[in-house]
Structure 1
């Protein structure tokens, strides 16, 4: 089997959606550093897509910059996917480790990340009548990533086609549950903070009086 560098494995996995991840598994290839770099690029790509898009295609009405939604759409969702898939597939006799799931999933995101940056750049050069080209690029990027993600899950866990579909469905359900619990936890923390802040303000006022 081929002997490639880590960067070459990235290109091989992305350009060979059927056997790329399978080859990576047998060669025990994949870099966690590169995977984390891809997620960081996803984070900045989401920011660029939301804030730097050409005004003729998208106008942001937000007067202040809030980084939280971009963290959620990148780091939080990716982490929820990796942990959710690992948790679910452990119960379904999957062979993938959390490390390999994270690496393979990050590699699968490359087409989606690439279309974010490409569409942001094109939005400053194309006119509204040429918006269809940007839509085609987005469709290809998203579709390619979905195909790679499916292949990544299938290869890392050594599942059949049907079991891969089942695992992805359960993973999405697990992600929804985790994000729902996270929202509840953050809401609880906020309520506790408000309660403590109110008590502190009241005590400070009475101490001054």
Structure 2
């Protein structure tokens, strides 16, 4: 984790060749990131927290987190196989997990600050949070560049195609959910109508 912050290119190389990191450690980091993400949304100080368990379902937040993560990793792997990327799905998963380190550090700081700062100092919380997000995003891009041995232009293309894939996949899932919901509703109405006719 320290190497990822100080020497990210070296860290990504070590992760790629398997000298550092593992699926287990990456999985633990994803779980820790998820816990911090939940605390970031639901656990901030009262002044800065507009969310609560009554308005946001932890199950829904969990689904959103893991679906987006899965779509990004899976989509990036599929896009990279088409565009001559060298990285395996394991390389992508591990490097993305380790790229979350800045967020894992900065988000808890933002949460703690939300309990001690006033509304007039809210910009400090926003600044700390954005540093963590943007730093992690930069590391993800750097990871994709080095894992797949891409140029910067190829990396930008890969990231944009991955995001496009994720958005299209989410839209398709939403459409399928709505269609399936209507089909279930229609079948239920047909069964109710048949039962009513039989009783008559």
TM-score (norm 2): 0.86
Unaligned runs of 5+ in 2: none
1:198 to 149, 174, 189: 189
State whether structure 2 residue 77 is matched by structure 1 residue 86.
yes
Cα displacement (A) at 1:54 = 1.3
Cα displacement (A) at 1:60 = 2.8
State whether structure 2 residue 129 is matched by structure 1 residue 138.
yes
State the partner residue of 1:4. none
State the partner residue of 1:7. none
- Counterpart Cα distance in 2 of 1:15 and 1:203: 69
The answer on whether the counterparts of 1:88 and 1:171 sit within 8 Å (CA) in structure 2 is: yes
State the partner residue of 2:165. 174
Q: Report how many residues are paired.
A: 200
Moved more, 71-80 or 52-61: 52-61
Name the CA shift for 1:65/1:57 in 2 (closer, same or farther; >3 Å). closer
1:63 to 54, 70, 88: 54
- Counterpart Cα distance in 2 of 1:155 and 1:207: 67
5 Å-filtered alignment, 1:83-162, equals: 83-162=74-153
Name the CA shift for 1:104/1:194 in 2 (closer, same or farther; >3 Å). same
Name the CA shift for 1:182/1:121 in 2 (closer, same or farther; >3 Å). same
Unaligned runs of 5+ in 1: 1-9
Q: For 1:60-95, what per-residue CA distance to the aligned partner results, in whole angstroms no more than 9, with x for missing partners?
A: 377344235412441011100001100111011001
5 Å-filtered alignment, 1:46-57, equals: 46-57=37-48
- What SS is found at the alignment partner of 1:88? helix
Name the CA shift for 1:186/1:39 in 2 (closer, same or farther; >3 Å). farther
2:13 to 6, 15, 22: 22
- What SS is found at the alignment partner of 1:33? helix
- Counterpart Cα distance in 2 of 1:39 and 1:201: 46
State whether structure 2 residue 43 is matched by structure 1 residue 43.
no
State whether structure 2 residue 186 is matched by structure 1 residue 186.
no
